[in-house]
Every structure is written in structure tokens, then in C-alpha cells.
Amino acid sequence: MIKSALRVAALATAMSAVAFTAYAKNPVVGGAAMFEKKNIVENAMNSKDHTTLVAAVKAAGLVGTLESKGPFTVFAPTNEAFAALPKGTVDALLKPENKAKLTKVLTCHVVAADAMSKTVAKMIKDDGGEHDIKTVGGCVLKARESMGKITLTDENGDVAHVTIADVKQSNGVIHVVDTVLLPKM
């Protein structure tokens, strides 16, 4: 009886280790676990570092799109990235009369593909150190790699660093970035 109980305990421990390993594959973002079975919006809503992004996605009416099948790659700016914009920029973009501008800014962070960092790094290498990434919003981001980290340069010359890569979603992937990428306006 004791041997049987020990076997059950050992099996339960082994199964917990497997479950934890499967859970631990995706990075934690904004203090929250990110689940591969959830979509981009569902996961982003759980990140305390992406409340501004989620508010902006809602204001732009993009929730349905980013909950759809995809696949999408989203370069997700943190709250700090939005806070670094000139004073009043975020408040102005969130106003209903600026919905088109807000949509343009947000869609310049979205690619209609599931691009993991290894894929992006390979494209950068294959293109001699720089790869153009065309976004859903029509922006062209210049991707480069330096010391194993990917950077993205927007059409204004601002550089975003991917701080957390390869956050798998049911409909694509999120790469957390430290700068809001802006279209040429």
C-alpha cells in the first residue's frame, strides 16, 4: 500500500513537472503568464505592462481583428514606451476624432504573418544585416540584429528593441518592444 501511494505521488510529481515545463515555454509578460491557447488580445489584457496598448486597440476598434484567426506578429509597445511619446500624444490619439491616426499607428506594429525571432534573424542575415518588414498599416520597419537582439527602426528613424521575444499566441506571436513605432506623418 505504501509502495502504491509512493508510485502515485511520483507519477503526480512527474506529471506536474511536465505540465510546468509546457507552461514555462512562453515567457511571462507584465507579470502575467501568456498562454499559447489564448489569442493576442486575451493575453495582452492580462499584462500590466500593456494596459495603454489594450486601451488603444479598443479605441481603434481593432479587438475583433486581433482576436481573429491571423496569423499576426505584433510588436507590442509597453506602457513605458507610450509614456515616452511627447506629452499629450496618447490622450490625443485616443480621442474618437483621431481614430484613423490611432489605427495607423497600431497597424504599423502588426505583420500579417507568424514571425518568430529566429525567422526574423534569418531574414536579417539573408539580407546582409537588414530586413524590411512591411506592416499591415503600410509602414516599413527596418529589422536588424545586434548581439542576439532584434531592433526595429520606424520610418522616422526611431529604434525599438525587442525586449521579450517569441510570446506564442493561438493566432500568432507577440514581441514586446520598448518604443512606439510611428508611421511617417
Exposed e or buried b for every residue in 108-142, given b needs 16+ CB within 10 A?
A: bbbbebebbbeebbebbeeeeeebebebbbebebb
pTM of the predicted model as reported, rounded to 2 decimal places: 0.84
Q: How confident is the model at residue 10 (pLDDT cuts 50, 70, 90)?
A: very low
> Taking residues 25-40, what's their average pLDDT?
84
Does the domain spanning 27-177 belong to CATH 2.30.180.10?
A: yes
14-28 per-position pLDDT tens digit: 333 333 334 447 887
107-158 per-position pLDDT tens digit: 999 999 999 999 999 999 999 999 999 999 999 999 999 888 999 999 999 9
> Taking residues 24-42, what's their average pLDDT?
82
